[in-house]
Structure 1
Amino acid sequence: MRGEGERAHCFNGSLPLRLDDTGGTEEINEISGADPFVCTTQAIADIVILVDGSWSIGRLNFRLVRMFLENLVSAFSVGIDQTRIGLAQYSGDPRIEWHLNAFTTKDAVLDAVKNLPYKGGNTLTGLALTYILENSFKPESGARSGVPKVGILITDGKSQDDVIPPAQSLRDAGIELFAIGVKNADENELRAIASEPDNTHVYNVADFSIMSSIIEGLTQIVCERVEEQDKEIKGESAGQETQGAPQDLVTSEVAARSFRVSWSHAPGSVEKYRVVFYPATQGGRPEEAVVDGTENSVVLRYLNSLTEYQLAVFAVYTSSASEALRGSETTLALPMVNGLELYDVTHNTMRARWSGVQGVSGYMVLYAPLTKDQASDEKEMKVSDAVTDLQLEDLTPATEYTVTVYAMYGEEASDPMSSQQTTLPLSPPKNLVFSEVDHNSAKLSWEAASRKVTGYRIMYVKTDGLKTDEVDVGPVTSWTLNDLTSATEYEVAIFGIYDEGQSEALSGSFTTDPVPEPLDLQASEVTAESFLVSWGHSAPGIILYKLTWAPYDGGDTKEMALSGDVDSFLLSGLSPNTEYEVMLQAVFKDQSESDAVLVVETTLARTTTVATTTPVVRQAVRGLQVQEETTYSLEVSWQLEDPKVDQYRVTYVSLTGDRNEESVLVPGQQTTVLLQPLLSDTEHKVTVTPVYTDGQDGISVSSVGRTLPLSAPSNLRVSEEWFSRFRITWDTPPSPTLGFRVVYQPTSGPGSALETFVGDDVNTMLILNLQSDTEYTVKVISSYTTGSSQPLQGTAKTLYLGVTNLNTYQVMMSSMCVQWQPHRQADLYRVVIESLLNGQKQEVSVGGSASRQCFYDLTPNSQYKISVSTQLQDMEGPAVTTITTTLPAPTQPPTPPPTSPPLPTIPPAKEVHLYFSTLSVPGVTNLNTYQVMMSSMCVQWQPHRQADLYRVVIESLLSE
């Protein structure tokens, strides 16, 4: 920081600085609680007040002007033999309200002020200044020789004529001018009118209502100038001692609430130094510190943090003060807490601790959930300076909270330190197991969630259904679901119920069994007109059986309903030597029906035998079973113990009719055969015919079997989520497979589908090299010899590798800082700042525990984009950005007007010649013009003693 010497008015006494409405400083005498200033000097003066009475002021504001004038008059000893005060009002044409010698007492002048009429009109300040020079400061108007003369102008707008030559004429006549501007006044015009120095002779306020704020400063300066003029008039020296301003302003020991100001001593005998300081922002109240003249530094305390202060140092002598040595300094930010840690997290509490800060009065802790619908639920805690570890209670489970800690210094707070943490979810139950699954019920078992659980809510729904069923149970660990639909997949979710709410779900799925078919349907006791069918009961709850039979090659179909406890039935009235197809279905209490089981049997032929001839018995196959189904094969077995059977002919065909009948020959000693390859999920009719050694066929027996469908895997689960990977697990289907195809790709955004194949003994896979914070669609497909299953589909998402809560602070003209919430696993952060004006960049890498970075040498009033990228091992997360604008550079003060007014200029136009002459006026001398303007001028001459009148003619000679 560099000190800078500036011109300033010096005067006796300890007077604070005033901030005027333009941000500049002027010395005033306003001290809180002091009595109104009264000028006690023995010197007297002639003071003429020139008041703007134009229409722009308004009658209401004119009343405030009267009050201001009353306070001004009250500060002086007014009388015919003391200070005299005259007043003129102007607008388009000025007029004298009263002369200097009009009143003999102060009370009379005050009465005249109170009754001052409002004139109205345009603002012609230059004409009014000339008017008071010619009419108010004259002996006949009460002006006295050898007495200091003061003119005080009060105006609210810019003059419509030139003010520089009339003001210069007044100053040349020894009249000291003060200019007071209100509201819309032109400050440059005020400076052109007033005497030097400007900072003691020019006043500019924003509104009439605050004119009273400058009255004491104005009256004190006027009083001092009257005293000094009086001494100059009487030939007395205003000061013989060596005087001067201090030099080399330096600031040091800068902190948040204080800094030291030092300077080099001023010359001569300095009684004391006054250090005046105030915030640079508009409206800051000036304060001062006073030290003995032997001191050359002082510590300014109790300042606001991160605030620029303007400084002025005055050397005070016995009868005057020096000009100001000026400078500025900005306090630092208040020390903030660091090391904020959130730990011991439960579902409804967490603890916060931080490193203590010296000098604080306490800490303020704010915490609120980050979810939008709970953003207003912010809580505040204030603790003493001794507390640096605190438990936060009554939190919402499974909710991310922002915790912010401020170091408090009285009522002022430091910059915040923030951190985020998510409360734990309510503990869900674990290890869901499905058992005792049949066609209409299933038992669920799980491990208890917590001792605090009050019960469980079980929700289940068909995978392809819309209606969800729900049941609430007590704190049990198993439950049986009844009245289910057979051969249907169900999704199940179990929630733990707590006083605070509901836990996350424990999910799983199962598929009910098909309605069980009757067991081991067989035909026996075959005759030419009948045979017996028998079976076994497949499950309890069967209320009846539907038995249907008909000739295989076509004919009447017969049907019989049998009680559920029957296990055989004799089919009679059949045709001899005819193949019959018999189907049996079980019907249960819930009206569900099983698939039909089928048996094919051929009645015996009706034969006639000769008594002497022995018939050849051709036995039929017994106990034909089709079992061990797979997706592409069926195993066929039967019974027949006849040594005369040479081989068996096994014929099979799909009942869909899209394939030709095929057959295989099996040796006579073999009673099983594996049929393959077959169509999956297809019914096949299998017929076994014994072939005897003589080449004759025995009686054929048929049955129907169904290959398994191409089952998909089930119960897809996701675990071990990370920034670039996750694990998927699935349950394998009941049918043997060749393996599984795993297909995954981003749900949205760039990225093509990737696929891998695993063997049939694998049901889990760790998927690597993924994008962070990305949701993926995952499909698992069973591969079979005859094709592929429908996909088992789900979604999984990688973790977010990026910072949160990015924001800027301590934004200055050429620097700014950025802070963020650190990522737990970060190794490094890459921080880049880029100017949006010219594209210039700065880049820095900081450690994974860092949470802030500052940048310098920036351009004022420019937009900057700051990006923070998290780096973990060989990965870099997405850049998180914020845009901030640096503060603008301070506006330079206006250049003061020249001390001597420039000659008026006339814009180029047609040349105009002006000639003046006096007519019929003998003896006129010293004829000359003055105040020559673009559209006006004045003429003066030496009067003739005997003249009765003058006739003055002006003529324009316009050159063509």
Structure 2
Amino acid sequence: MLFWTSLILALSLRLALAQSGAEHSVTASAPQGDLLFLLDSSASVSHYEFSRVRDFVGQLVSAMPFGSGAVRASLVHVGSQPYTEFTFDQYSSGQAVQDAIRVASQRMGDTNTGLALAYAKEQLFAAVAGARPGVPKVLVWVTDGGSSDPVGPPMQELKDLGVTIFIVSTGRGNLLELLAAASAPAEKHLHFVDVDDLHIIAPELRDSITDAMQPQQQLRASEVLSNGFRLTWPPLLTADSGYYVLELMPSDKLVATRRQQLPGNATSWIWTDLNPDTDYEVVLLPESNVHLLRPQRVRVRTLQEEAGPERIIISHTRPRSLRISWAPALGPDSILGYHIQLGPLRGGSAQRVEVPAGHNSTTIQGLTPGTAYLVTVTAAFRSGRERALSAKACTAPGERTRAPQSVRSVGG
């Protein structure tokens, strides 16, 4: 009898430990972070549109885990002055957050988004607003696309502090401005959608927000070029509680590991003078006598070296048209496309043609017979850099056709 009692107790204990381990595993992988919603509450948004956005935000938070060790949320309105609807520590359950969103009122006024972003930065890192040190920070900005003040500088400050930026635009907006403001990659962090179709993107956006709150993804690389990249991480330490050591290890074992020591209030660093098309492993080591923090790692591959067109060939020259071909730029994965500009050497209006990546020729029409032109082929890279090469070309006089000619470049 004693044997069977002991066996049952042992099996019960093993089952309890297994269940405890499973529960611990779920808790460890649960998202944790401070999530701030920035809603356009100005007069540029109709009451109907605001109500649809409010429903959308409620749908986003409906399946998120809330609590002191999970997600906390705050809502800030964009208007003439920023206004906090509720702080991070005001509600501890998902239902309470949804109820607070449901009763939020539109503030009206101007669309001073830049001012609200500067205010949001304070909220995300202020203990008085319930912000927690050492957890991922996420900002979800829902806008109709316009702003009365600049958003670029305050948004970059947020990204430099390690904040992940999601943007949902229900209007047309400035594509280039929104692309620059959202975190990379844009296809994951920037959404253009009609206000009545917001519910369609809610599940995908909620998953992306959850991914951004996973602890192992705190150290991030962005602005990757052929010779460097930017690193960002949330504030894990303070200037008084410790310091960071960054280690950069290239895949080429013959190249020495680089190290950089940074103060405890640092949240970003840019590595430069790196080799193109190379894998690097980065380790962030928080050193502190106050907090025990694990190292964080990220692997980054630099882009191929950006080199512009090396040769321009002019062919099929006719009195009013000619064909331009060029040797493709190096680094095809980083090419956005080509700009072709052609103008008379002796003055006059110039033509500009856009050619997509993957193509290396185009035919220009509507030219003047017997006229010398300057042709410039510019390769545009994803990094924002450009490489150009120029050559001379001449249309045929009258209606005769000249044989193809190879033209020597006159500049680059």
- TM-score normalised over the length of structure 1: 0.21
Larger radius of gyration: 1
- Structure number with the higher strand fraction is 1
- Structure number with the higher helix fraction is 2
- TM-score normalised over the length of structure 2: 0.48
